[in-house]
Structure 1
Amino acid sequence: MAAMKTPGQTRVAVMIDGSYFNRVSTFYKFEHEVGRRLSLSGLMDFIRIAAADMEDVPRNRCRVVEAHYFRGRYTLRDLEDRAQTANFVVESLRNDRVFDQILAVSNITPHFTRIDTNSEPPKEQGIDVWLALEAFDLAVSDRTDVVALVAGDGDFVPLVKKINAIGKRALVVAWGMKSDQGTQVRYSGPLAAAAAYFLDMADLIDNPDEDEQRALVDQLFVDN
């Protein structure tokens, strides 16, 4: 059922490229002075507040009506084939279960596809297409006003242009950063340019310009 629209309210749908989010989160944990992983619930609230400010509506009139997470996953057989230690499979399944619980608590709908282990290196199968189809369906069926895309891949440029063309607003949420060790996270310049709104998250996190923004940045990370 579509989220009901009331005057002065902005509905936001958050679409997360899981592999991209994981790269960013891992960067902050191991390559950045913050030394913590990203919080999905904290990111959702950060996006909601940013969307409200960009849409020029009161923050209490802006809400995340849907959130979706897309990523490839290994099957149990794939994990068994790749196991190099005795507890590899058990730990992998446990980590997956813990993450599923995080998604559930954050009210994020998961979308998983099987990782293609016949390629080298293994790669996700069709996950970007799935994300794009779900995002466009949300926009064209008038279930959202702003589609927030947590991604950096230039392949999403046509999606962003389509969303903007039908009168909705595409908000790209992305990071561009490089560690002293050479580890990088990037986003496509054309993707950022095509968006109705763009959040340069690396700059916002490293250079908060006021106490309120510093508090919001702190909430972007988990405590452990």
Structure 2
Amino acid sequence: MLFSERKFEDSLIENDVIFHYKHLREIQKEGEINVIEKGIDVWFALEAYELSLFRKFDFVILITGDADHEMLIKKLKALKIHTILLTWDLSPESATARLLREEACKHIELSEIAIEDKDLIKKICRSKQKR
């Protein structure tokens, strides 16, 4: 992981953001090794829904562009939990699914904000020495 990404992750952890990681699997097929992700979307949705229920969250912030999470947002809405969708598009065309953007209570495109605020990366990736 790049240092700046690690600093960003550290700042999220300091603010009680819960991370969920699942290992990718390597499968050998026809002499080639392919890395696959199986069941990550379902596992993530179940985990987010369960945490939202038990901890009685008012808001859930999703950092994803995958349309598979549209149903998670619908279920959270049924529980009166607001969903904020954070995305960061690296190309001129949006990689975020339209249905996902429309279903979320609020969609924040961080790459657009970063263009307007040149110091955004420094602000969200503070090092502990500067505090």
Q: TM-score normalised to the size of structure 2?
A: 0.74
The SS at the match of 1:117 is: strand
1:159 aligned counterpart, secondary structure: helix
Structure 1 residues 14-163: aligned runs within 5 Å: 37-38=4-5, 39-42=8-11, 44=12, 64-70=15-21, 112-118=22-28, 121-163=34-76
Residue in 2 aligned with 1:202? 111
Amino acid at match of 1:128: D
Please say if 1:178 is aligned against 2:91: yes
1:219 lines up with 2:123 in the alignment: yes
Identity among equivalent pairs (%): 20
**Structure 1 116/207 Cα, relative in aligned 2: closer, same or farther at 3 Å?**
same
Max Rg structure: 1
Aligned length, in residue pairs: 122
Deviation (angstroms), 1:197: 1.6
Query: CA offset at residue 222 of structure 1?
Result: 7.2
Task: Describe the superposition over 1:105-163 as per-residue Cα deviations: whole angstroms up to 9, x where unpaired.
Answer: xxxxxxx2341424674211211111111100012224421111111111110001111
What is the Cα deviation at residue 216 of structure 1? 4.3
Structure 2 spans left out of the alignment, 5+ residues: none
Structure 2 equivalent of residue 56 of structure 1 = none
Return the structure number with greater relative CO, CA threshold 8 A, min gap 6: 1
Q: Residues 222 and 121 (structure 1 numbering): CA distance in 2 closer, same or farther, change over 3 Å?
A: farther
Which residue does the alignment assign to 1:168? Answer: 81
Query: Could you say what the CA RMSD is over the residues aligned between the two structures, in angstroms?
Result: 3.1
Matched, 1:193 2:102: yes
Confirm or deny: 8 A CA contact 1:65 1:144 kept in the other structure. Answer: no
The 3 A distance-change label for structure 1 pair 64 and 192 is farther
Distance (whole Å) between structure 2 residues aligned to residue 117 and residue 185 of structure 1: 30
